[in-house]
Chain A
Amino acid sequence: MAEEKDLENVKPDETLDVMGETCPIPETMAHKKLKKMSVGKVLEVYTDHSAAVENSFPSMLKKMNYPYCVKQTAPGEYTIKIRKTS
């Protein structure tokens, strides 16, 4: 699933703050949180780990087939919005 810009304005149902933490924590915790959420809900992840934004999250979400959108909020800081679709 590619990036979905429409998600940018959607209010998240759940948030996950993993600022300052590196792989595999951000994607592992996001994966666990998504598992517990119901279909259709949106998770917002706060991270400052560029490698996770560039590699780990896109690969994982592509595999899970979940739409997502990445926004840089400050230099080196990002929010990733993910919609659980299945």
Chain B
Amino acid sequence: MNPYFLEYSLVGIAGLLFGAALERGRMCFVLATNNIITAGDTKILEGILWAFGISVLIFGAVESLGIIPVQAAVQGVFPSGWYDLVGALFFGFGIGLCGACMSGLIFRASSGFTQNWMQLFGILIGTIFFAFIIFPMTNFLYWILHTIPWLGIKPGLSDYIPHEWFGKAVWGPFVVALIFGGFFMLFGLYLTKRRFKKIGEERGEKNYKEPVITWNMLKFKEPYSPRLGGLLFAVIAIIVLFASYYTVHKVAYLGVTTPYGSFDTYLLSPFINLYNVVGPYKASFLPKLSSNWFQIVPVAIPMTLMVLCTFAGATITAILGGEFKWRVPRRKMMFLQNFIGGVFTGVGARIALGCNIGTLWSGFLMFSWAGVLFLPTLVLGMYLALKFQELVW
């Protein structure tokens, strides 16, 4: 069988599953954060921690056992640096304004929320805005910042934490996975236990528990538990990794925003030769990707199919679960808010070379510092957006 056909087929199936997991599990980083800040509720966060923990542990084992050679895994690693911190702040504020992260956006837009379609439009505009305004500026900033050693870029192998910490030891990836993945899993399990205990005390049930999976969830009568959503997330990341390596022998990590940028390029190509416009600016802070941002990838890549199938999967489960309905906000101002939030989201995602999926989650899966750097300013951005909305509305 044609390996490319096999890769696209498997990635397409993973996309459908991803959509289902998002929509049924309500997997949204903004929802998780808002619930914690406003009500101290950790239910959605537990699902996200399961997703991160299980997938990181499996990726570490796969690389240490040599099922996928470390050398191949390293080739897919993004370089990390100051732009993760800056991009995540913009991105976090943007998704906070829209009430939906890059994964939450997909399931909400697929359920018929028109304001999230406006967010998507804002992301496309923000991506173009980045290319013409921010990209040349960040390129210039690089030349200033790279003189400070700790802000410098460490491309390639040196950004792979197992090599940084343990040299070429084969057990390196698994030990790093145990540290990061083990922390996510233990923290997730602790939060679940604490939540069950609290609900049990309120209801007078000593051994209160919520099932991870029930028949009603499978029959679309009730949403998935976020922990089931998290488990499916991990399965999908593993499908994408194996599908890419065993078909075209190039490791790919899950990502959502790159196809948006490619789609922009595709739409604008009949009108503007973007290469000529942006070409003179050398993206020296993206040493592993390209010397030109618009040349990163063509539009017809597996991840584009993945995103389209994710939308399709989320729409199908929304219809099956009786959740699909075109929803227009009563206050039309929300369209403007979502557009502005979308622009911030698009700009932030491009500065940080990805979103909460491609840079945060996949950053941990790559064992690079990208995820660690992305997280604190992402949370800060979302927090600021929540406080801003509390003030305005």
Residues on A lying within 8 angstroms of B by beta carbon are 2, 17-25, 27-29, 31-32, 48-51, 54-56, 59-60, 62-63, 75-77
Alpha-carbon distance A25/B324, docked complex (angstroms):
20
- 13 extra interchain contacts, Cβ-Cβ under 8 A, other than A23-B30, A50-B26, A56-B39? A20-B114, A20-B330, A21-B115, A21-B330, A21-B334, A25-B99, A25-B393, A28-B390, A29-B393, A55-B44, A63-B40, A76-B322, A76-B323
Residues on B lying within 8 angstroms of A by beta carbon are 26, 28, 30-31, 34-35, 38-41, 43-44, 98-100, 108, 111, 113-116, 202-203, 223, 322-325, 327-331, 334, 386, 389-390, 393
Alpha-carbon distance A50/B222, docked complex (angstroms):
11
Q: A75, B41: Cβ atoms under 8 Å? A: no
Q: B38, A60: Cβ atoms under 8 Å? A: yes
Q: A25, B38: Cβ atoms under 8 Å? A: no
Q: A32, B108: Cβ atoms under 8 Å? A: no
A56/B331 contact (C-beta < 8 A), A22-B113, A48-B325, A51-B26 known: no
Question: Of A22, A60, A76, A77, which one neighbours B39 at CB under 8 angstroms?
Answer: A60
Q: A18, B330: Cβ atoms under 8 Å? A: yes
A22/B390 contact (C-beta < 8 A), A48-B325, A62-B39, A76-B323 known: no
A20/B329 contact (C-beta < 8 A), A25-B99, A32-B393 known: yes
Pairs across A and B, CB under 8 Å, 17 listed: A2-B203, A17-B330, A21-B99, A22-B108, A22-B115, A23-B28, A24-B34, A24-B38, A24-B386, A25-B99, A25-B389, A51-B28, A54-B223, A56-B31, A56-B38, A56-B41, A76-B322
A75 CB to closest chain B CB, in angstroms?
A: 5
Q: A55, B393: Cβ atoms under 8 Å? A: no
Return chain A residues, CB-CB under 8 Å to B322: 75-76
Q: B31, A51: Cβ atoms under 8 Å? A: yes
